[in-house]
Amino acid sequence: MKKDGMKDFPRIGIIGGGQLGKMMAQEAKKMGLFVSVLDPTPGCPASSVSDIQIVGDFYDEEKLEELVKQSDVATYDIEHIATEPLKRLQDRGYSILPSPYLLEVIQDKLAQKEILKKAGIPVARFMKIERIAVEEFKKFGYPLVQKARKGGYDGRGVAVIRSEEDMAKALHTGSYVEELVDIEKELAVMVARSTKGEIRCYPVVEMVFDEKANICDMVIAPARIEKDLEERATEIAKEVVKVLDGVGVFGVEMFLDKKGRILVNEIAPRPHNSGHYTIEACATSQFEQHIRAISGLPLGSTKLLSPAVMVNLLGEEGYEGTPLIEGFEEALSMEGLYFHFYGKKTTRPYRKMGHVTVIDDDVEKALEKAQKAKSILKVKAR
């Protein structure tokens, strides 16, 4: 900040150049900011929409330092990155947001759960296990979900154990067990909190999962739930981000169970798949909001301008290689449909290759259209 009240634009560094990094970069560039991206894949989705790509691993201390040093504020689009060097850089005065100390907690799902529980945030009953053994599971009680403490992503690192017979499915890695929640709906709230403590929530949304791949498939905004549940979910989400002292945009994933309980499942310390709909349907997109939050700028309005449904375009089963899209023209002729394709060089079964958002004054109509789009659009390979 200069003395005369004028401000130089912050230079943004993003660790991770996947679709989230790409969409962050596009919003930052819209505002004229300088954007650098660190990603191991040359030509990653964010690279062609940013000023600079540093090609390097997320665990390469030298590359992380290079990115952080050339940025006024650094952030990340993925949790699986080295926190130790980032903590050291933060301690030396560099700005990395959300804080790598917070990220360290998030990376360990058990530590995350313990902090939330301690703060009085409602979570499913869980227990740390000392070793992967029948006695441990039995002690907790069946049915249960065993979750890897680290490295889980898009459905990986989770095993449902209904009885001793399922022991073969158990994960052999540091993990904990959790009650198998009788899920009515999966909900999510995107929460933004700025360096100045300003906080804003986006509407509560419903996440629909592909059962086969256990990957988020569709998001319905706003969630079709009662007003009081909506308010409760919003309050809980806000509280979570305050408890973590988070700065940036956070995806708070929650279960609504058959008994009407809202339980926090997990936190993403970054823009999130459940918030893609905000690009078209909200006054400020989650990506611009994240840039504002970490740059010390005022937060934008999170107002929902129109109901919306987002569907992920996942790589079709049976195809691997350079992506080719089927149904592109037909889908684009649908009114109120927005097409996003990330520019990944290779498609694989269930890989997130793009998404479409459909807006409509009637959320049920948006849902119908989105389902139609999903049936039309197929990501295959050349």
CB burial string 11-26: b at 16+ within 10 A, e below: bbbbbbbbbbbbbbbb
Window 51-70: contact mask with a second copy (x via CB under 8 A): x-------------------
Residue 244 or 297 having the CB closest to a second copy = 297
Which residues, 1 to 30, sit near a second copy by CB under 8 A?
2, 5-9, 22, 26, 29-30
Asked if 50 interacts with a second copy (CB under 8 A), we say yes
Residue 101 or 339 having the CB closest to a second copy = 339
179 marked as binding residue: yes
Residue 52 or 171 having the CB closest to a second copy = 52
Candidates 95-103, 179-187, 247-255, 297-305: pick the segment binding a second copy (CB under 8 A): 297-305
| Rounded least distance, CB 117 to a second copy, Å | 36
Instruction: Find out whether 17 and 38 touch, Cβ atoms under 8 Å.
Output: yes
Which residues, 255 to 294, sit near a second copy by CB under 8 A?
283, 292
Q: Strand order in 11-15's β-sheet?
A: 52-55, 34-39, 11-15, 73-76
Instruction: Find out whether 84 and 96 touch, Cβ atoms under 8 Å.
Output: no
Q: Contact with a second copy (CB under 8 A): which of 250, 277, 342, 350?
A: 342
| Rounded least distance, CB 381 to a second copy, Å | 10
Strand partners, 206: 187, 220
Instruction: Find out whether 272 and 286 touch, Cβ atoms under 8 Å.
Output: yes
Q: What secondary structure letter does DSSP report for 48?
A: G
Residue 45 or 85 having the CB closest to a second copy = 45
181 marked as binding residue: yes
Residue 2 or 172 having the CB closest to a second copy = 2
Helix (H) or strand (E) segment spanning residue 112: helix 109-118
What is the C-alpha separation between 211 and 269, in angstroms, rounded?
25
Asked if 49 interacts with a second copy (CB under 8 A), we say yes
273 marked as binding residue: no
266 marked as binding residue: yes
The C-alpha R_g of the chain, in whole angstroms, comes to: 21
CA distances (Å), origin 133, targets 129, 137, 148, 151, 317: 9, 7, 15, 21, 35
Asked if 42 interacts with a second copy (CB under 8 A), we say no
Residue 123 or 192 having the CB closest to a second copy = 192
| Rounded least distance, CB 293 to a second copy, Å | 12
66 marked as binding residue: no
Instruction: Find out whether 49 and 19 touch, Cβ atoms under 8 Å.
Output: no
Q: Contact with a second copy (CB under 8 A): which of 328, 349, 364, 375?
A: 328
Nearest C-alpha neighbor of 156 from the set 177, 143, 171, 178:
171
Q: What secondary structure letter does DSSP report for 96?
A: B
Asked if 318 interacts with a second copy (CB under 8 A), we say no
Asked if 105 interacts with a second copy (CB under 8 A), we say no
Asked if 340 interacts with a second copy (CB under 8 A), we say yes
The single residue listed with the structure tokens 């690192």 is: 157
In this structure, which amino acid lies at residue 270? R
Which residues, 343 to 382, sit near a second copy by CB under 8 A?
343, 354, 359, 380
CA distances (Å), origin 360, targets 304, 309, 364: 12, 9, 8
Residue stretches of the annotated binding site: 109, 147, 178-181, 186, 265-266
The residues of the shown chain that bind a second copy, judged by CB under 8 A, are 2, 5-9, 22, 26, 29-32, 35, 48-51, 283, 292, 297-298, 300-301, 305-306, 324-326, 328-329, 332-333, 335-336, 339-343, 354, 359, 380
